[in-house]
Structure 1
Amino acid sequence: MSRRNSAARRQSLPKDDISTLRIIGGDWRSRKLTFPTIDGLRPTPDRVRETLFNWLQTSTPGAACLDLFCGSGALGFEALSRGASSVTFVDRAPEVVHQVRQNLNLLKAQNADVICAVVIDWLEMKKADQEPRYDLVFLDPPFRQDLIRSAATLLETRNLLNSNALIYIETESHWQADGLPENWTLYREKTSGQVSYRLYLRDEPATQEPDLSLAPRQ
């Protein structure tokens, strides 16, 4: 995926400020897309994406996806290429959002939304039980900013996840995976160099069973 710190829109980028990524599977396999070269923006490496989408090979087709802190959009584009029904891209950097839109136009993709917003603010504005829900979420925030727990909590409290949703989390290798919702179960995990990545499966939160011993007798 990707990260950035700049906020200024660049409608056209000098060649030195442009990087490329390659879609590795699906209908757009081997297509190359450009994205801004911004300090901290780091698309998920090809090898990691290949492993991730091997994990997700039966779950991606038809999935409604949410790509938070999308940056280059590498994961969202990969999901669309592999048959996702829709992807919502969210990122705070205008030049990043602009390029994601350009790439969607290049690919003639009709089933994606791109939102320029601070992710945590965007999640906080959601109204519980009144928003679309997602089957697959990519959560790859800037490293060392402690954003994952806040985003994960908001995904749950705003009820933005379908039952059995899958949540991908990409972090620095020393990140401690605690403080996540109790109904998220670790499904797969792996480390590649300085990056750790995990896939969680969401269960419906447990609801308290009524105490039948207290029910009035008929």
Structure 2
Amino acid sequence: MRVVAGEFRGRKLNAVPGMATRPTTDKVKEAIFNIIGPYFNGGTSLDLFAGSGGLSIEGVSRGIAHAVLVDRQYQAIKTIQTNIEFTHHPEKFTVLKRDARRVLAELASQGTQFDLIYLDPPYAKQQIIDDLAKMQELNLVAPGATIVCETNTEANLPATLPGLTCVRQATYGITVVTIYRAD
């Protein structure tokens, strides 16, 4: 795993040890950013199931000003922190060891809105639609925000959701990337 483009291009990233997480491959990561960017002029991102932190680090490398990474596993948090050290810009990241669904109210109480949201939950726990509804209810989704959902082929995310429009869906082997834009 590596950073594909931007300020941190070419830096190698560690994967979370064990089988509890499934890192986004470089091919899928590059495809995602070619669709949504490929570069950004600031903004804030949220990664609710951060794993190794690769998507958020890639986003910051490509111009996102600040990334919030959430994961509940100790090994994932440790890996994220190590990977952030490789960037030499820890101030651009906030890492939270929390349950993804419980952290949303905490983030809302801070008045934060996110311009880019990554949702890549464990395939066995496909609750993306509920997570998106909760984020909208708590006003965490900035107007015009981009939401990147990474699922398996069985998830079948809908083309439209209240307040969101699907702008692209692509399949890469067993991985499906669905990208929504907030109205």
**TM-score when scaled to structure 2?**
0.92
2:66 is equivalent to residue 94 of structure 1: no
Match of 1:51 among 31, 38, 41: 31
Number of residue pairs matched? 182
Q: Which residue in 1 is equivalent to 2:176? A: 196
Tell me how far 1:63 sits from its aligned partner.
2.1
Q: Secondary structure at the match of 1:167?
A: strand
Unpaired segments ≥5 residues, structure 1: 1-20, 204-218
Task: Flag the structure with higher helix content.
Answer: 2
Tell me how far 1:115 sits from its aligned partner.
0.2
Deviates more, 1:132-141 or 1:96-105: 96-105
Instruction: Tell me how large the CA RMSD over aligned residues is.
Output: 1.8
Tell me how far 1:105 sits from its aligned partner.
2.2
How much identity, in percent, do the aligned residues show? 29
Q: Matches of 2:54 and 2:83 in 1, distance apart?
A: 11
Correspondence 1:29-48 to 2 at 5 A: 29-48=9-28
2:113 is equivalent to residue 133 of structure 1: yes
2:10 is equivalent to residue 22 of structure 1: no
Tell me how far 1:60 sits from its aligned partner.
2.7
Tell me the amino acid that sits aligned with residue 91 of structure 1: D
Match of 2:103 among 97, 119, 122: 122
Pair 87,170 (structure 1): closer, same or farther in 2 beyond 3 Å = same
Q: Matches of 1:154 and 1:27 in 2, distance apart?
A: 33
Tell me how far 1:181 sits from its aligned partner.
3.6
2:31 is equivalent to residue 77 of structure 1: no
Q: Matches of 1:100 and 1:58 in 2, distance apart?
A: 22
Q: Which residue in 2 is equivalent to 1:216? A: none
2:41 is equivalent to residue 61 of structure 1: yes
Q: Matches of 1:90 and 1:84 in 2, distance apart?
A: 17
Q: Which residue in 1 is equivalent to 2:130? A: 150
Provide Cα deviations, 1:105-127, integer angstroms capped at 9, x if missing partner. 23211211000000011114454
Deviates more, 1:144-153 or 1:22-31: 144-153
Unpaired segments ≥5 residues, structure 2: none
Q: Matches of 1:199 and 1:178 in 2, distance apart?
A: 11
| Structure number with larger C-alpha Rg | 1
